[in-house]
Structure 1
């Protein structure tokens, strides 16, 4: 089976770690695609926490969830993913990050490596054993490339006894497709 992009890989891996009744986090709600995917995955008994710093993203995600009848499964949080530990107090099965910027919004607002790395650290603390953290990272422009490199370096330094880290990239694509990281807590 071939995967077309890092988001498909995130969904594939998240479905291995979470299911009906699970608790999941969408660290970057954006337009709500990952949030809706996770809400469908966890079912009516599960819960999803979705974070975004942009009110436009929270509103877009809320509408997508309402249109699909999934709103009651999700707690929308208008705050940085770096602060997820203040909102989530229960073990988490899967966490999704889709870094970069919100499509169709202010092109000057990006995720930043310092907040993202703080969020990854918080997420690793929240993940249950065998939980999974998935990251789609972009590198095609200078701002995204800086975050990608710093996240890569951080993940590379995680001790193997704490987590296994998988890195996936397309090496012959001409249009800077996003890379994918899967972090499995051991």
Structure 2
């Protein structure tokens, strides 16, 4: 079964690469966090991996992201093990206990969300993650990980504020003590410089 699944995997992009690592490490009964649930795809994967005996906390400040995630989970029969939280990920430690096996951060805009022009017509402003709240959330998530737990952080630099957030994440990761954390940065060499990339943090 594992061989068949592996043949279907694609490693094109930061998110598929993050899913590859999650599939290797997250097991039934584990605790996991989706710090930016967006349209719910990361949340669904985590729910499938932890199973009925585990739990997933999924955060987003955008009500439509919470709705989209809830609808996807209900459609796939994975709603029971997920707690949906309409709040910024900088409040992560208010809701999540220690013992987390994996935390997922998919930064930037809501995937597939409305364009800036469409939002303006609707009287809304585009919401993106910010360096300050992201670094705060990363610090909290790192403190909640179990030994052997991971954080996968997909970074996007093609929008306003994206390069600054990516730099803040890299600086934060570079400052983590190597005695307690392994930190990797992975880019696709045959893609444009602005292509999304992945930062992976493992707690030793």
- Distance across 2 between alignment mates of 1:140 and 1:39: 30
Aligned residue for 1:79?
87
2:73 counterpart residue number = 65
Q: Which runs of 5+ in 1 are unaligned?
A: none
For 1:3-82, what aligned pairs fall within 5 Å after superposition?
3-82=11-90
Q: Deviations over 1:17-57 (max 9, x none)?
A: 21111110000000000000100111111110000011110
Deviation at 1:115, TM superposition (A): 0.6
Which of 91, 96, 114 is equivalent to 1:105? 114
Aligned equivalent of 2:135: 117
Runs of 4+ more than 3 Å apart: none
Residue of structure 2 in register with 1:178 after alignment: 196
TM-score (norm 2): 0.87
The whole-number CA distance in structure 2 between the counterparts of 1:97 and 1:105 is 20
TM-score norm. by structure 1 comes to: 0.95
Query: Closer, same or farther in 2 for the Cα pair 1:2/1:30, shift >3 Å?
Result: closer
Find the structure with the greater CA-based Rg. 2
CA contact 2:10–2:16 (8 Å) conserved in 1:
no
The secondary structure found in structure 2 opposite 1:58 is helix
Report how many aligned residue pairs link the two structures. 186
Report the counterpart of residue 168 of structure 1 in structure 2: 186
Helix, strand or coil for the counterpart of 1:124? helix
Choose which of 72, 93, 112 in structure 1 pairs with 2:101: 93
Cα distance per residue 1:118-140 (max 9 Å; x no partner): 01100011000110000000011
Distance 1:177 1:171 in 2: 10
Instruction: Report the Cα distance in structure 1 between the residues aligned to 2:13 and 2:171, rounded to whole angstroms.
Output: 22
**For structure 2, which runs of at least 5 residues remain unmatched after alignment?**
1-8, 117-125
